[in-house]
Each structure stands twice: as structure tokens, then as C-alpha cells.
Amino acid sequence: MEIASGTVLRLAEDASVQHVGDGAVVLLARSGQLYTCNGTTEAFLDKVDGARNLDQIVDLLCQEFEVDKSTLDQDIAALATDLVSEGILATPGA
């Protein structure tokens, strides 16, 4: 499934993000699975609020990291796709 720039994302019902040291971990309560996140993934998840779309999140990340938007667009779309397939993120109504 490809995540489009206009797609609004939210954390899945059973996912929680805990900030630890220089990164974060995501716990999926349903399965008990724990995922470690690097700084980029942590910054991305901090901006996922169920109201912003992917393009708005990328804009915020571009300001935070001073990165080229076209590069970040592709990287964050791939990350979002992975996180949806892992059950960490969902689209509203899903």
C-alpha cells in the first residue's frame, strides 16, 4: 500500500510511543512487540496526530532537520508505509 502525501495518519489504537535516551520505542499492546526508533522515526511519530497529512508532517520535518523536501518526501512515505504495514500507524477510520 502506497501512502499518498494527502493521507492523514494516526497511531494505531494499541500503539504507544515511549521516549528513551536518544530515541524512542513503540510498544504494540496487542502483540507485545517492541520496536526501537531512531531520531528521524521518533521525530516523525511525534508529528503524527491524526489531523496532519503526510505532506504537512514532511514540511515540519524539513524545517526541523533542514533537509531537501524531495528526498524527505520519498523517505518518509516509505517509512509511513512500513509503519502502517507493521500496525504501528493507521489512517483515521481504519
74: three-class secondary structure by DSSP:
helix
Q: Determine the pLDDT at residue 94.
A: 65
Which residues have CB under 8 Å from 38's CB, separation 6+? 23
Choose the CATH number for 10-85 among 3.30.70, 3.40.50, 3.60.21, 3.90.930. 3.90.930
Residue type at position 68: D
Tens-binned pLDDT, residue by residue, of the chain (94 aa): 678 899 999 999 999 999 998 889 999 999 999 999 998 899 999 999 999 999 999 999 999 988 889 989 999 999 999 999 999 999 876 6
Domain ranges of the chain: 10-85
Q: Determine the pLDDT at residue 3.
A: 87
pTM for the model: 0.90
